Amino acid sequence: MDHVHRVLDEAGATLLVDGVKVRPGHPMLLARLGADPARPHHVRHLVGLPGNPLAAVSGLLTLAAPLLAALKEDGPRTEEGPRVEGGAGSGARTPVPYRVPVRDEVHGHPHDTRLVPVVRRSGSAVPLRYHGPAMLRGIAAADGLAVVPPGGARPGQNWTSSIFPGRRWRGPRRPKERVSRETSQS
């Protein structure tokens, strides 16, 4: 991000978010670039995401999605930034946080919040083993991300969690009904 800061400064951008205390994803940023000369009433934004897959998805869900939802709900923008009327998130397709108990212990970062891919099983969030910032497997299998406070979480402790857009929490698996050939041919 060393070069990004210099380029944004040269472009006259205003840094709104310059890093967060979240792992993975801490080097993300958000900048306001100013009005587009072709559309003077619309302000442009830039979201800088980390290069690792889980870190990038974390940035998309926690920084880019809320920004896009706020901009979508708004109308024309001014140099002051987006206006949010009627409450942020109304009608938006951004992750909705909620509380869910964790089934297994998760080690936390000593100072930063961690975002951990989870699946929901029998009413609990189950952390996936594949949760490194460069691992795609955890994202692909996860129903959402759990927010783990600095220091970690113990089994049974309630976590704030967000479901991935387009996903639903999976309940207990039910056996598939078998359809006999006789029934399916009638």
Which tens digit of pLDDT belongs to each residue from 80-126? 433 333 334 444 444 556 778 888 888 888 999 988 888 888 888 88
Contacts of 110 (CB under 8 A, 6+ apart): 150, 151
Q: What pLDDT does residue 38 have? A: 83
Regions in the chain scoring below 50 on pLDDT = 75-94, 170-186
Cα(43)–Cα(25) distance, rounded to whole angstroms? 25
Cα(135)–Cα(141) distance, rounded to whole angstroms? 11
Q: What pLDDT does residue 170 have? A: 47
- pTM summary value: 0.68
Q: What pLDDT does residue 5 have? A: 92
Give alpha helix (H) positions in 11-64: 53-59
Indicate if the alpha-carbon torsion angle 105, 107, 113, 114 is positive or negative: negative
